[in-house]
């Protein structure tokens, strides 16, 4: 196994990684090459545009909050710079108590209104089970898709032109394509559920590529990755939101959701031999927020402590209505590619070219 000499990406399960003569991988080279420079004046210009678009309206912008670091920090910035913000939370039955408390504290501290979307649990669990049965790598795409579909609909219904996002380059730019599949492939989700699901999808929020084009071109709804306009330091952000909101840490990236934690630390790791920690830690190394030595020390720790795994697995299997034997059957099934099912990949590529 070859490990990058600058970050901690390796070639153990990534067909697209390449190393140069110095032992540096293509991911960290591209990261450093494309790292956006912070521009406070551009940041202020964006804030000003958001306020202008919200003039004479109830809200300037919409922000999805999960209780995680990134969205919580964006909520802090929105309050600090006087944006009249509508918060949005998505409850798919897997939010941890820490995440719920973090969201509540944000609402209490900012005074922002919040719109909470609660899924039909039986329907959503059936969809998640379908992804497991399909044996594809990105079982999380059903959550990401639904969240984004809801955000755009709430923005349209509320005549809100700007959706703030916690997506950021500095801590998220490194992620091999082979480790997932794009969340906006609606035909992929529907075909998998058609083949493996049992409960009709009557309430599941959907967002086709054409509908997204409609939102962007005709409703002028824009997604704003606010953190890309500044030097975003995750540890500093944590200290700020702890002081501002009484924010509580939940461990590792995206572990504010019990299902996401189990998916990343167990399903991905055991079945697909993917350790997402490498990508997240490599971002922190390249952005100067962590040393390579510190990252390697973190990787030596168990990805899922056994006591936590035993507890979390029991909760998850119970909620999904699966026995240990049934779950292991799905884990042992041959891996399938998302392209083995219906997809709008060709349309996506065409629209992407047109956008460029």
* DSSP per position, 204-220: -----HHHHHHHHHTS-
CA distance 180 to 182: 7
Question: Nearest 10 degrees: CA dihedral of 254, 256, 260, 266?
Answer: 90
- Using DSSP, state whether 183 is helix, strand or coil: coil
Using the CB atoms, write b or e for 242-259: b if 16+ within 10 Å: eebbebbebebbbbbbbb
Count of H helices and E strands in the chain? Answer: 16, 5
Residue 227 has, within 13 A of its CA and on its CB side, a CA count of: 22
> What is the predicted pLDDT for the residue at 68?
92
What the block records as the tokens of 172 is 């998220």
Instruction: Please check whether the domain covering 26-355 is classified as CATH 3.40.50.12500.
Output: no
Question: Nearest 10 degrees: CA dihedral of 49, 242, 146, 118?
Answer: -120
What the block records as the tokens of 33 is 């090459």
What the block records as the tokens of 50 is 């958001």
Question: Dihedrals φ, ψ of 313, to 5°?
Answer: -65, -40
> What is the predicted pLDDT for the residue at 16?
94
> What is the predicted pLDDT for the residue at 355?
78
> What is the predicted pLDDT for the residue at 254?
66
Using the CB atoms, write b or e for 216-229: b if 16+ within 10 Å: eeeeebbbbbbbbb
- Using DSSP, state whether 118 is helix, strand or coil: strand
Longest alpha-carbon distance in the chain: 59
> What is the predicted pLDDT for the residue at 233?
94
What is the residue-level pLDDT of the chain in tens, covering all 356 positions?
899 999 999 999 899 999 999 999 999 999 999 988 888 999 999 999 999 999 999 999 999 999 999 999 999 999 999 999 999 999 999 999 999 999 999 999 999 999 999 999 999 999 999 999 999 999 999 999 999 999 999 999 999 999 999 999 999 999 999 999 999 999 999 999 999 999 999 999 999 999 999 999 899 999 999 999 999 999 999 999 999 999 998 776 667 889 999 999 999 999 999 999 999 999 999 999 999 999 999 999 999 999 999 999 999 999 999 999 999 999 999 999 999 999 999 999 988 888 77
Ordered by start, the domain boundaries in the chain are 26-355
Burial of 109 from C-beta contacts in 10 A (0-12 / 13-18 / 19+): middle
Which pTM value belongs to this model?
0.94
> What is the predicted pLDDT for the residue at 356?
78
């Amino acid at each position: 196994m070859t490990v990058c000499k600058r970050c901690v990406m390796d070639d153990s399960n990534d067909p697209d990684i390449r190393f140069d003569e110095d032992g540096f991988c293509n991911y960290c080279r591209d990261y450093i090459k494309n790292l956006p420079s912070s521009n406070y004046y551009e940041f202020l210009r964006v804030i000003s545009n958001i306020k202008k678009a919200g003039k004479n309206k109830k809200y300037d912008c919409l922000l999805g909050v999960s209780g995680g670091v990134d969205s919580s920090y964006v909520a802090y910035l929105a309050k600090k710079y006087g944006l009249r913000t509508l918060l949005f939370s998505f409850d798919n039955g897997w939010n941890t108590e820490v995440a719920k408390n973090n969201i509540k504290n944000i609402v209490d501290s900012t005074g922002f209104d919040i719109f909470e979307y609660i899924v039909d649990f039986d329907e959503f669990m059936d969809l998640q089970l379908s992804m497991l049965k399909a044996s594809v790598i990105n079982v999380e795409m059903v959550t990401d898709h639904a969240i984004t579909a809801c955000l755009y609909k709430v923005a349209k219904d509320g005549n809100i032109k700007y959706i703030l996002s916690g997506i950021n380059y500095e801590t998220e730019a490194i992620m091999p394509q082979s480790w997932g599949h794009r969340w906006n492939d609606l035909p992929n989700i529907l075909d998998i559920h058609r083949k493996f699901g049992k409960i009709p999808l009557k309430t599941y929020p959907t967002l086709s590529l054409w509908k997204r084009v409609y939102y962007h071109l005709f409703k002028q709804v824009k997604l704003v990755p606010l953190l890309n306009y500044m030097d975003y330091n995750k540890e500093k952000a944590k200290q700020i939101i702890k002081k501002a909101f009484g924010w509580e840490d939940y461990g590792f990236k995206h572990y504010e959701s019990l299902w996401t934690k189990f998916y990343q630390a167990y399903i991905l790791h055991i079945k697909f031999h993917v350790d997402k920690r490498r990508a997240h830690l490599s971002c922190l190394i390249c952005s100067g927020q962590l040393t390579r030595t510190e990252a390697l020390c973190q990787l030596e720790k168990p990805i899922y402590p056994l006591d936590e795994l035993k507890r979390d697995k029991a909760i998850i299997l119970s909620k999904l209505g699966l026995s240990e034997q049934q779950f292991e059957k799905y884990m042992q099934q041959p891996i399938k590619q998302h392209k083995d099912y219906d997809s709008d990949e060709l349309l996506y590529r065409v629209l992407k070219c047109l956008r460029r």
